[in-house]
Structure 1
Amino acid sequence: MTDHNRSQKRAAFRDLHQSGCFVLPNPWDAGSAKLLESLGFKALATTSSGYAWSCGRADGQLSRAETLGHMRMMVEATNLPVNADFESGFADTAEGVAESVRMALETGVAGLSIEDSTGIPSSPLREIGESAERISAARAAIDASGGDVLLVGRAENFFVGCADLDDTLIRLKAYADAGADCLYAPGIKTREQISAVVTAVAPKPVNVLIGWDSDFTLQDLAELGVRRVSLGGALARAAWGGFIQAARSIVEEGRFDGFANAPSGAELNSLFRK
């Protein structure tokens, strides 16, 4: 990818956050990225869980090097901007986060997120001050490289069993003040929670996760002030669901009728043929 193309993708991605509401789906490999691009989506995001499962690993078990390699592959697989699920920055210190972010920028991503989770069940969230410092370090690394990559600050409260909305709002406001361009609290589900987050960090854009069957429409979320909607590992889980159902039907019942919704080989060959 040329520097010009990289800059164009990053500018286009930033523009998407200025008004309206768009869906940011999460492919997990080159094929799923190309398929989503063909359907007309405007940008894509990686999914740490979806990629980990495709490697036969649990979410959070991939190394920084493996994640960076995946990010580079996903950027090269599509003409669309790619936002990276960069987990907690693969470092224990703010300086380490900055180093990781500098490596991430070299992959060509248009955006990346930094979480405040620790991965430790007994103490699942970092202290707010420490988390904000890590966001600030990521911001400085991005600015030093030209400042055109979008930084997403994530408050993981609802994802790690600490469903405290007040604490979530305090965290998101701190991350916005520390330089996050977009704010994200995965796991919030009600209109009241979403509205509270949008109001707390306004005018900065908010990402909402819809990773389950939901009564919300894109229009509903737009009316609540949401700028972008991501799907996390939901599409990957849907693919795994179809695979598991078909395979179980064979092994448990000796039946071969689980392929009704599968595209034909000709369709897929046509999609991926260069």
Structure 2
Amino acid sequence: MTTPVEVFRALHHGRAPQDPLVLPGPWDAASARVFEEAGFPALATPSAGVAASLGYEDGSTPADEMFAAVTRIVRSVSVPVSADVESGYGLPPKELVARVLDAGAVGVNLEDSEAGALKDAEAHAAWLAEVRAEAGDRLFVNARVDTYVRGVRDAEETIRRARLYVAAGADGVYPILAPPDHLPRLRASIEAPLNAVFHPDGPSLTELGRLGATRITFGPGLLHRTMGALRGVAAEL
């Protein structure tokens, strides 16, 4: 019998360039059900979206509340769910993996910056290797590369970090906010599924796939669009 993590991992491979894996980001159980009902094969929680739904600023959600939110989302749907757990909340790899698995998630986003600064890439790769060793094949590890977020717009540094993380056992890499024109170079230089973030004023989902994105996520963007619609309803009332 195929397990949920095997289903999730398989979704990242063998895709045509014009058919990237599109993973909406639910912030609670209700939004997760809407995305599942729309036919998406898997979901990926955004930490910023979950934080906003719980009344926190991005990056300040207590670990217990984040894991509880992920657990509720996973319980509410039958499709695989990957969880953004930021930089791991300072948990040792064994505890981090155990908590992600207890929440029912099949994957994680783990970022390489903390407190507004990039981590040492080699040290982060060593930490990812420990996470991989603890998780075995039970989690899809998506290594977020924060170079562009932190103002380092050097594709070569992004590639260097991504390669270190793939060598450490990451299943995929996520150079968040990479400019679309950098995607072909990143795709050609990194031997792992490449995650890109969608922006309404940027390339379409199909075009992002053609540029090199294997997987497309939205950060808190879908929550922001929903809140915009809700403000319209509130104003009408």
TM norm structure 2: 0.92
**Alignment match, 1:115:** 111
Identity %: 30
Aligned to 1:266: none
Partner residue, 2:165? 175
CA distance in 1, matches of 2:200, 2:150: 17
Which residues in structure 2 correspond to 1:36-185 (within 5 Å)?
36-91=35-90, 96-120=92-116, 124-143=117-136, 147-185=137-175
CA contact (8 A) 1:211 1:233 kept: no
Larger Rg: 1
Equivalents in 1 of 2:119, 2:39: separation in Å? 38
Q: Over aligned residues, Cα RMSD in angstroms?
A: 1.7
Say if 1:97 and 1:91 are closer, same or farther in 2 by CA, change over 3 A: farther
- Contact 1:139 1:180 (8 Å CA) reproduced: yes
Report how far residue 220 of structure 1 moved: 2.1
SS in 1 for 2:142: strand
**What residue is the counterpart of 1:231 in the other structure?**
218
Q: What letter is aligned with 1:228?
A: R
Work out whether 1:10 is the aligned partner of 2:9. Answer: no
Q: How does 1:171-250 map to 2 (within 5 A)?
A: 171-191=161-181, 193-202=182-191, 204-214=192-202, 216-247=203-234, 250=235
Quote the Cα distance in structure 2 between the aligned partners of 1:142 and 1:109. Answer: 12
Shift of 1:138: 1.1
> AA paired with 2:177?
G
Q: Residues 95-148 of structure 1: CA distance to partner in whole angstroms, max 9, x if unpaired?
A: x1342122111211111111011123xxx10011111112111111111xxx13
Query: For residues 144-192 of structure 1, what are the alpha-carbon distances to aligned partners after superposition, in whole Å with 9 as ceiling and x for unaligned?
Result: xxx132111111111233322221111111101110001110101223x
* CA–CA distance in structure 1, aligned partners of residues 119 and 31 of structure 2: 33
SS at match of 1:180: coil
Aligned length: 233
Contact 2:143 2:170 in 1 (8 A): yes
> 2:14 aligns to what?
19
Paired with 1:110 and 1:231, the residues of 2 have a C-alpha distance of 18
SS of structure 2 residue aligned to 1:157 = coil
Query: CA separation in 2, counterparts of 1:148 and 1:118?
Result: 25
Stretches of structure 2 that go unaligned for 5 or more consecutive residues are none
Higher relative contact order (CA 8 A, sep 6+): 2
Q: Which moved more, 1:158-167 or 1:104-113?
A: 158-167
Residue aligned with 2:164, SS: helix
Q: Describe the SS at the equivalent of 1:114.
A: strand
TM-score by length of 1: 0.80
Rounded Cα–Cα distance in structure 1 between residues aligned with 2:81 and 2:153: 29
2: distance between equivalents of 1:209 and 1:226? Answer: 9
Deviations 1:30-72 (A, max 9, x none): 1110001111111101111111111121011111111111111
C-alpha contact 1:89 1:101 (8 A) present in aligned 2:
no
